[in-house]
Amino acid sequence: MILPTKYLNTDRSLLNLGAEVMMLLGREKPVSKLWEEFQKTRQGKAMVTYEWFVLTLDLLFCLGHVEYKSGKIVRRVP
């Protein structure tokens, strides 16, 4: 689920999706705006549900790459 396997395509692995989300986080954004932008960048690729998107955000939060401040997702600076 986090890494691609023979049953899970690379386009749907949480690690790959996390990289795509991080590219969209140039500045802080509400989750709804981030979801809209994420869907636009995914056109032509494997479909990702909102639940899978939230799991991606959870992974990024657990790894310490993003924070949730004042209702917005913020890229965490090391």
Mean pLDDT of 28-32: 97
Q: Is the pLDDT of residue 27 over 90?
A: yes
Would you say residue 2 lies in a domain? no
Range of the domain at 43: 10-75
What are the φ and ψ backbone dihedral angles of 72, each rounded to 5 degrees?
Answer: -130, 150
Q: Is the pLDDT of residue 6 over 80?
A: yes
pTM above 0.85, yes or no: yes
Mean pLDDT of 11-38: 96
Would you say residue 3 lies in a domain? no
Number of domains in the chain: 1
Would you say residue 21 lies in a domain? yes
Tell me which residue of 20, 27, 71 sits closest to 46, measured CA to CA. Answer: 20
> Which tens digits make up the pLDDT trace of 49-69?
999 999 999 999 999 999 999
Q: Using H for helix, E for strand and C for coil, what is the string for the chain?
A: CCCCCCCCCHHHCHHHHHHHHHHHCCCCECHHHHHHHHHHHCCCCCCCCHHHHHHHHHHHHHCCCEEEECCEEEECCC
